Amino acid sequence: MPRYGPYSHPAVWAAFAAHLAASEEAYRLAAQDAEPGTPEAQAAHEAEYRLYRAEKAHREAWQAVTNSRERWTNIDWLDKYPSLEAEMHRDFLREVEADWEIGQ
C-alpha cells in the first residue's frame, strides 16, 4: 500500500482492490461472448453489475478521502454501463426509499 496520497487510505485501497477483482471477473466472462439468455450470459451480466458497484464504491471512497467535488451522476454511470439500466434504476429507488425512511 502506498505511504502517501489517496491510495494510502485503507478504505480507498480496499475499494481499489475490489474494483480490480471485479474488473478481472467481468472481462473474463465477457470474453466468452455467450449467447443472450444463457446462464453464461446471465453470469457475465451479474459480473458487470458487481464491477459497476465496485467501481462506484472505489470512486466514492477516493472522493471522500480527497474531498473531491467531482461527482458522477446516474447519467454518467448509465453512459458507462448502458446494459445495467434496470439495476441502476432499482438501486436509485432503494436509495430514495432509504432516505425517505431516515427523514421520517
Q: Is 52 a residue whose pLDDT tops 90?
A: yes
**Residue 95 pLDDT grade (very low, low, confident, very high; cuts 50, 70, 90):** confident
- What residue spans define the domains of the chain? 6-103
Could you tell me the pTM of the whole model? 0.78
Which amino acid is it at 96? V
Per-residue pLDDT at 2? 64
Q: Cell 472505489 appears where?
A: 58
**Residue 1 pLDDT grade (very low, low, confident, very high; cuts 50, 70, 90):** low
Per-residue pLDDT at 23? 94
Per-residue pLDDT at 37? 86
Q: Is 18 a residue whose pLDDT tops 90?
A: yes
C-alpha closest to that of 76 among 68, 88, 64: 88
